[in-house]
């Protein structure tokens, strides 16, 4: 049970993949197909363990001998395939819409802070009928540095016109927690099938919850 109640929070900034939606199969399948088109293979578990990182970083690890230009070519091909097929294998968290609606009704500003590029983000949010609930959407390619740098959190707070100290960052990855902490925000780690409690604990978030619904006990 969570024994913590955060005060003076004006905004809740959510990571997307693994936190509000499960797009792991869509991501892994797309990486696999792009590499297969080049005669290359990957270990699906390796890809799963890197979800949340920028695509160029993922391909850089999976195929370390490629040039920067070749890596970005894979990224572009990934994006072309992903935007067409990602909704086929993406599911929203069963309680996400309800929790978001409750937070919105209670007066919290809501934001998305994700490593993804914008097109599939707005695509998936609109598909599941939650796009209109968010006051701000910031993607990793709209700021100078990706998570764990605080840039994306700082940018979201700036667009909302509030201090990062008035925000809580909610995510399933240690990267989300680290970005929030560096920005001076409160942080809530959500256990997912990608990142277990031990991994989140190592990042030392303000709180860790096993289920998204438990956010009610904190805010």
Strand partners, 169: 13, 187
Tell me if 96 sits within 8 A of 21, measured CB to CB: yes
pLDDT on residue 89: 96
> Which backbone phi and psi does 16 adopt, to 5 degrees?
-100, -70
Name the burial class of residue 198, with classes exposed (0-12), middle (13-18) and buried (19+) by CB atoms within 10 angstroms of its CB: exposed
Determine whether domain 11-22+91-217 maps to CATH 3.90.550.10: no
Residue ranges, comma separated, of all CATH 3.40.50.1000 domains in the chain are 11-22+91-217
Residue 2 has pLDDT above 60, yes or no: no
Region 205-209: what's the mean pLDDT?
95
Q: Looking at domain 24-89, does it have CATH number 1.10.150.240? A: yes
Segment 150-161, tens digit of pLDDT: 999 999 999 999
- Mean pLDDT of all residues in 174-198: 94
- Which candidate, 128, 184, 167, places its Cα nearest to that of 13? 167
Q: Using CA atoms of 198, 204, 210, 216 in order, give the dihedral in degrees to the nearest 10.
A: 180
**Which of 124, 126, 168 shows the shortest CA–CA distance to 17?**
124
Secondary structure, 3-state, 56-79: HHHHHHHCCCCCHHHHHHHHHHHH
The sign of the CA dihedral 146, 148, 154, 160 is positive
Residue 136 pairs in a beta bridge with: 111
CA distance 11 to 157: 8
pTM of the model: 0.93
> Which pLDDT does position 1 carry in this prediction?
46
SS3 112: strand
CA distance 93 to 43: 26
**pLDDT band, residue 12 (cuts 50/70/90):** very high
Q: What is the pLDDT of residue 193?
A: 83
User: In the annotation, is 15 catalytic?
Assistant: yes
Q: pLDDT tens across 55-105, in order?
A: 999 999 999 989 999 999 999 999 999 999 999 999 999 999 999 999 999
Segment 178-199 mean pLDDT = 94
User: Could you read off the pLDDT of 114-141 as tens digits, one per residue?
Assistant: 999 999 999 999 999 999 999 999 999 9
Strands 207-209 and 186-190: parallel
Distances (CA, A) of 170 to 52, 107, 127, 217: 13, 17, 21, 14
Average pLDDT of the chain is: 95
pLDDT higher than threshold 70 for residue 198: yes
Pinpoint the residues of the chain covered by CATH 1.10.150.240: 24-89
């Amino acid at each position: 049970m969570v024994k913590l109640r955060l005060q003076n929070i004006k905004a809740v900034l959510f990571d997307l993949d693994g936190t509000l939606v499960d797009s792991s199969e869509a991501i892994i399948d797309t990486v696999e197909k792009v590499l297969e088109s080049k005669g290359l293979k990957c270990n699906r578990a390796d890809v799963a363990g890197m979800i949340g990182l920028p695509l160029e970083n993922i391909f850089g690890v999976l195929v370390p001998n490629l040039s920067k230009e070749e890596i970005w070519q894979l990224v572009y091909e990934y994006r072309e395939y992903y935007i067409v097929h990602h909704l086929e294998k993406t599911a929203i968290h069963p309680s996400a819409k309800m929790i978001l609606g409750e937070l919105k009704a209670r007066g919290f500003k809501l934001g998305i802070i994700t490593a993804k590029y914008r097109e599939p983000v707005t695509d998936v949010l609109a598909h599941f009928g939650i796009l209109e609930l968010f006051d701000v959407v910031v993607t990793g390619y709209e700021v100078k540095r990706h998570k764990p740098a605080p840039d994306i959190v700082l940018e979201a707070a700036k667009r909302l016109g509030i201090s990062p100290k008035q925000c809580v960052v909610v995510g399933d990855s240690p990267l989300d927690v680290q970005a929030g902490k560096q920005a001076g925000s409160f942080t809530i780690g959500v256990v997912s099938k990608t990142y277990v409690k031990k991994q989140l604990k190592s990042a030392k978030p303000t709180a860790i919850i096993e289920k998204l619904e438990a956010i009610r006990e904190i805010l």
